[in-house]
Structure 1
Amino acid sequence: MLDNAPSFLVRPKANNPIRVAAPDIHAEDELKDEDVPAAPSSTRVMPLRPAVVPTQPSGKQSLQAAHRAEVEWLVQQGSLATFRTFQSFAYSARLLFHPRDLIYYAVLYHENAVWRVLRAGDLDAAEPAFRHFVEQAMRLADAEMRRAHLAAQNEQFSRLIAESEAQIERVRVDLQQGGAQDQEVALKQQEVRKELAQLEGKRIAAQAQLNKLQRQLHQLNATVNESVPNLPTTR
């Protein structure tokens, strides 16, 4: 029955084994235990996630860098309208609009010269660029503000110092003049007192002499009157 069975049911005979010649393995080709890499203990398989590709805005709405010469030429042609402007010392920022091409320009100036330019086709993209330039201008002008404030303070201090020195000089002159006048008055008072003392001495001496002379005169008059006879009076 097995001789007439289909071929896929016929079992091969055991006395005709199929031999496969083994390749020659040399001793130097044998792998050593230390050369075989150890299998990792555990491998964490991360699930695949679809990559998120950011959507690129249209070329007219995206913010792009522009050439300074482009804005300078449009300004010379009078083709730009000023929407917003900011200035602080030597730095300024402007938001310009080109009506023909519907393009906005955010421009940063230094000493009225175009420094940096960003262009956009949408006001929502242009206004943040303008505010960025405003913040940059304010940050750059902060040192100018401090310098102007310090210069004004130093000028005020210099003026106050000059006024104080002038006042001190006037007071010193007044004190010197007052001191000189005090000395002059003191000397004059001393001379007056000395003169008064002299005059007082002369007065006392003159008074004494006058009293003496008056006494002498009185005595003389009394002597003269003693020699006058007593005559009767006629009625």
Structure 2
Amino acid sequence: MRSLLSRRGTLLDNAPSFLVRQKPNGAVRVPAPAMPEEDPTSDDLPRPAPATRVTPLRAVGVSSQSAAHALQAAQIAEVEWLTQQSTLTTFRTFHSFAYAARLLFYPRDLTYYAVLYHEDAVWRVLKAGDVDAAEPAFRHFVEQAMRLAEAEMRRAHLEAQNDQFARLIAESEAHVERARVDLQRGGAQDQEVALRQQEVRKELAQLEARRVAAQAQLSKLQRQMHQLTATSNENVPHLPSAR
């Protein structure tokens, strides 16, 4: 029995480190299976089981440090109070219509806040103790704000299109009205011109008739004058010229 215990202690002293399970306050050895003395004459005794590997546990300090930097939810009143105190520094900001996202930093506690706003009011808040954890939250809020603002963008675009169409319709109606008025005025002018042309042609015919009559009368008077002149010249005596 003493020989068995001595051999057991030798095996534990020479065991590899992964067979020892670590605890925060010290290492505790895993008891090794009992190793019976070898008896060459005894074949019926069971062989010792092989040693089982035990994966060493990670240190507790690493998990607690990562948990301190992990992303977590924050109260809206917390960010509102810090904003009122003007103790937050804006690292990044995004704004689209009624939605906004900001990455804020609180220097006193080295805390980062990813905040989503609606109508300038705090809507959702996430905080972290590390910027690498807060940046994805800020980008997530930016994507959410962009997605929510798509309807506002579409509404603004449609309103602008409708206003443009309304202006084009008003301008087209004005052009049509001016063209209609021009046609009406042109038709009225055409009628007036046609009536005036008829009157002018009638007056021309009358004047032409008067001219023909006057010319005939003038020719008659000229013939009469010529005859009278010839008759008067016949009565003039032929007197001798003075030398």
TM-score of the superposed pair, with normalisation by structure 2: 0.69
1:141-156 correspondence to structure 2 within 5 Å:
141-156=149-164
1:144 shift after superposition: 0.7
Residue in structure 2 matched with residue 169 of structure 1 by the alignment: 177
Aligned-partner Cα distance in 1 for 2:65–2:175? 72
Aligned-partner Cα distance in 2 for 1:98–1:227? 144
1:121 shift after superposition: 1.2
Q: Secondary structure at the match of 1:172?
A: helix
TM-score of the superposed pair, with normalisation by structure 1: 0.71
Aligned-partner Cα distance in 1 for 2:65–2:136? 16
CA-based RMSD: 2.0
Aligned-partner Cα distance in 1 for 2:171–2:190? 28
Paired letter, 1:92: A
1:88 and 2:96 correspond: yes
Aligned counterpart in structure 2 of residue 178 of structure 1, from 175, 178, 186: 186
Aligned-partner Cα distance in 1 for 2:197–2:218? 30
Q: Secondary structure at the match of 1:198?
A: helix
Q: Could you tell me which runs of 5 or more consecutive residues in structure 1 were left unpaired when the two chains were aligned.
A: 1-49
1:67 and 2:75 correspond: yes
Identical columns (%): 77
1:100-119 correspondence to structure 2 within 5 Å:
100-119=108-127
Q: Secondary structure at the match of 1:79?
A: coil
Aligned-partner Cα distance in 1 for 2:223–2:135? 124
Deviates more, 1:110-119 or 1:173-182: 173-182
Residue in structure 2 matched with residue 99 of structure 1 by the alignment: 107
Aligned-partner Cα distance in 1 for 2:161–2:117? 29
Deviates more, 1:127-136 or 1:79-88: 79-88
Aligned-partner Cα distance in 2 for 1:157–1:187? 44
Q: Secondary structure at the match of 2:93?
A: strand
Q: Go from structure 1 to structure 2 and tell me whether the alpha carbon gap of 1:155 and 1:177 turns closer, same or farther (over 3 Å shift).
A: same
Q: Secondary structure at the match of 1:58?
A: helix
1:56 shift after superposition: 8.1
For residues 67-93 of structure 1, what are the alpha-carbon distances to aligned partners after superposition, in whole Å with 9 as ceiling and x for unaligned? 111111111111211111000010000
Aligned-partner Cα distance in 2 for 1:175–1:209? 50
1:161 shift after superposition: 1.8
Aligned-partner Cα distance in 2 for 1:56–1:160? 67
1:126 and 2:134 correspond: yes
Q: Go from structure 1 to structure 2 and tell me whether the alpha carbon gap of 1:57 and 1:135 turns closer, same or farther (over 3 Å shift).
A: farther
1:214 shift after superposition: 1.3
Regions of 4+ moved over 6 Å? none
1:188-227 correspondence to structure 2 within 5 Å:
188-227=196-235
For residues 160-179 of structure 1, what are the alpha-carbon distances to aligned partners after superposition, in whole Å with 9 as ceiling and x for unaligned? 22222222222332333333
For residues 168-202 of structure 1, what are the alpha-carbon distances to aligned partners after superposition, in whole Å with 9 as ceiling and x for unaligned? 22233233333323332332222222211111110
